[in-house]
Structure 1
Amino acid sequence: MAVSGFYQVLRFVKIGPMYRKPVVFDDTVYFLPCRSQDEADFVHELVQSKPYCQLLHSMIFVAEKRPVTAEVLRRISLERVADELGPGDRYATFMRRKSEPQMQLALGL
């Protein structure tokens, strides 16, 4: 899931690998990695939801050069948005998966 920090019209986009390789962003894009298409779809539902959008728009100033910042994005709890929308159990499921060790960490690399 990615969003540009420069545009006044916010558009969260699901971005997957291209040609089976990871996509690399520059410092003008904020992103949240997802482990599966299901998780990306779920996060996309959250960030496109009315409660999330209303809260985000109340926290940004569109006249600024970079209206969206990492600080603003961190202040919004996706868990609370999920609770507000009702699929809180799905959020918990995806968070449990994130606590599982990744291959590189498991191998001690």
Structure 2
Amino acid sequence: MSISIEEFGRLVVAKRGGRGVRAAATDVGISAATLSRVENGHMPDLLTFAKICKWLNRDPREFLGLETDEQGPPQAVAHFRKKRTVSAETATALGELILASQRALQARAKLINQ
């Protein structure tokens, strides 16, 4: 099950707590404006997404909907909603990330099963 971008934003707000947006953004390594947009449910670019996941101590697969099927190799599952804040470039980059993650998981499963 994937976590929505809105839930992702709520997790960022919860992690930030009472700290200011600028201080938290500095910890993440992004601008305060970008962090604020993510908190308000806007899709970040790939690099920003990775930085925020690291800061949240959360596996990006949670947000991408990557699941493991007991009967076969791991499969990626993603659901994109049409939203004006998501550019075609961002959607394409996220799709490529999902496919690369799926290939990496499949390669890992092969190594484990050898």
Report if TM-score (shorter chain) is over 0.5.
no
TM-score by length of 1: 0.32
TM-score by length of 2: 0.31
